[in-house]
Chains A and B, each alone.
Chain A
């Protein structure tokens, strides 16, 4: 509510104030016509040219008629979902396909409400917002890295192939995995418990956000960082699940 009222008041006074401020040199504003409109026009021309060129040079793929009896191997989702498909290696589908994407969306929606730091608006002042920028970039980059792996480095049976390796080469079946190591559940419990309690005790910055904000932040961050943790557990320690419960496996 507050934000909206503030927004409307700002808009009403906008042009008048800006004219005055420009005159007194307080805020440097400029008329949108023609400077900005001209740049937009150039952008339109450039994008149109680029799309035409791309369309002339590369044909959209069209393979054989759909055949439910003939499974594609590998069957890949569109590239923007390959990060999630790549996670199927490390998590069961309910995590990789449902829980993690849902948390990405709820986490993104929550961003403006959990980031109480008012610094660094309208400029690239990253050093004033280290916590937010670091965590956001971590997730953003991980999203793209997983997409690249899923797109370029996965072949038949979702085995790992370098770009210069032929998909004809037969890949060894993965080393036998430990279904659930004895220390798994304890590890999971400690990760989340300590991950939740320790920052609260040690970081005044986080405490000052209040308990509700803190909980939402930590829920999302702990699960986000659990993804690389699980990847390491799987690749280095051959762990399939840290916790195999009767209802689901993690």
Chain B
């Protein structure tokens, strides 16, 4: 047994994938981090207080992981969903009753989105309470605020897609607010637009929540918003390192 293990771990194939052992020595501990594309987001070393769950509450990391869950389950849902008013609702029913594990897939995607909205707000609270937005980390806080808005928009655009009463009226109520935008909404103060060219029309692709709104929300939800969010998360993580690593007392 030992011989076989040795043969495997010393083979060219094994060594081409895993470039270091598990021995508890400094060199290995650095290689573990640097030779792995996912782990290399980390620095080699961190101040001890930042390892503690009571410092970060794990909230940034959990938000990120929930985002990954959403990407994976969302991708699978796309196999079954068509963003047109004729089929959208039927596809949800199909998912619920016919697709194996379809209901679980949908449930995870739904609750994951709710959870992510909550964790991102809690993450912001922890960053605030530890004063981690102070120089030199000001800009990363700003990136964070944009990520917060994107998280809300992602969740909001997804809310319409089941095309049931809940979705329809929630988005109707939500988008009605846009009517009241000063200057650019047709019912807002100082309106310079009408019903057919105000911001609400731009958002919905019509005067009411209908087929074009469904398609617009779909494209925003599965393409544009996730793309921007992924890019900004890359910036967010990069900047944590470039701004001197996780915040610490001076």
Contacts and interface: CB of A to CB of B under 8 A. Distances in A.
Given A51-B115, A81-B156, A97-B177, A64 B44 contact: no
Contacts, number: 271
A141 B148 CA distance: 17
A47 B53 contact: no
Given A3-B138, A98-B177, A122 B42 contact: no
A27 to B, nearest CB: 6
B242 A4 contact: yes
11 contacts: A3-B135, A11-B242, A11-B245, A30-B46, A47-B66, A51-B108, A60-B111, A97-B181, A98-B180, A109-B141, A122-B247
Given A55-B107, A80-B155, A81-B174, A94 B242 contact: no
Interface in A47-62: 47-48, 51-52, 54-56, 58-62
Contacts of B111: 51, 54-55, 58, 60
Contacts of A58: 107, 111
A43 B159 CA distance: 27
Contacts of B100: none
A30 B45 contact: yes
Interface residues of A, number: 87
A15 to B, nearest CB: 5
Contact of A67 (B66, B168, B247): B168
Interface string B112-143: 10110100000011001111111111110110
A119 B131 contact: yes
B132 A121 contact: yes
Given A29-B47, A52-B104, A68-B209, 6 more contacts: A4-B136, A7-B243, A51-B108, A66-B164, A97-B178, A111-B141
